[in-house]
Amino acid sequence: MTYIDQKEIKTILLDIPPKWKSLLNDYVTGKEFDDLINLVAERYQKETVYPPLDKVYAALKIVEPQDVKCVIIGQDPYFNEGQANGLAFSVNKGTKLPPSLQNIYKELFYEFGYPIPKYNGDLTPWAMQGVLLLNATLTVKAFEPNSHQPLGWSDFTDSIIKALSTLKKPIVYLLWGNYAQKKSELITDSSAYIIKTAHPSPLSANRGFFCSDCFKKCNRFLKEHDLSPIDFQITDIN
């Protein structure tokens, strides 16, 4: 594993996009965040960690706070080599599609008739339209799911959800599964629209994710609030 100076790692991890940094000022200027960054920097120095360091804040780099229309919450990044790209449920193009993402595509076929991609799991086009694809934990040790959950990332990402509520703007929250649904307690803005379904994993998709019309409901809400709907179609040539 290539050695990276810990100071350099910390500099990258502290480089939160400016508008998010301003919105999260109370949290990111505190000791708790500083402790988190120290812990994560140490892991990047000693372990193989995903996503790549420059992709940790990918979701925040693509979508600025004022442009968020929809939030989808995942648990932690994919832990196999070449998968994680910093966006929840998303993988790099050409990577084998994880089962949960396959089921997301199946639901889109059910709702809109979109052909199911075979090779493209990169959800960047969603993010570019205002979908914040936010994992609760932003890093993971290679091949060890949830290994970085104890580091404290959830406090950082919880602060993002809380901060979005202060914007007082219509935002759709797609909360898939019990873990994501617990985050509804952080959403205090009455103009938010919360859609709860089962998780798209093979273990639970048949218990309320499939045929939920969650994507149609999202776009219906956006249209009702004079916001452009999300084009959720992903193709193998995106």
pTM value surpassing 0.85: yes
DSSP one-letter code for 76: S
Q: How many CB atoms lie within 10 A of CB 185?
A: 10
DSSP 161-219: HHHHHTT----EEEEEHHHHHGGGGG---TT-EEEEE--SSTTTGGGTTTT--HHHHHH
**Which CATH code fits 6-224?**
3.40.470.10
Report, as residue numbers or ranges, the catalytic residues.
76
List residues bridging with 134 in a β-sheet: 73
Q: Please give the mean pLDDT across all residues of the chain.
A: 96
40-87 residue pLDDT tens: 999 999 999 999 999 999 999 999 999 999 999 999 999 999 999 999
CA–CA distances in Å: residue 80 to residues 5, 143, 144, 179, 184 = 24, 6, 9, 22, 29
Contact 92, 85 (CB under 8 A): yes
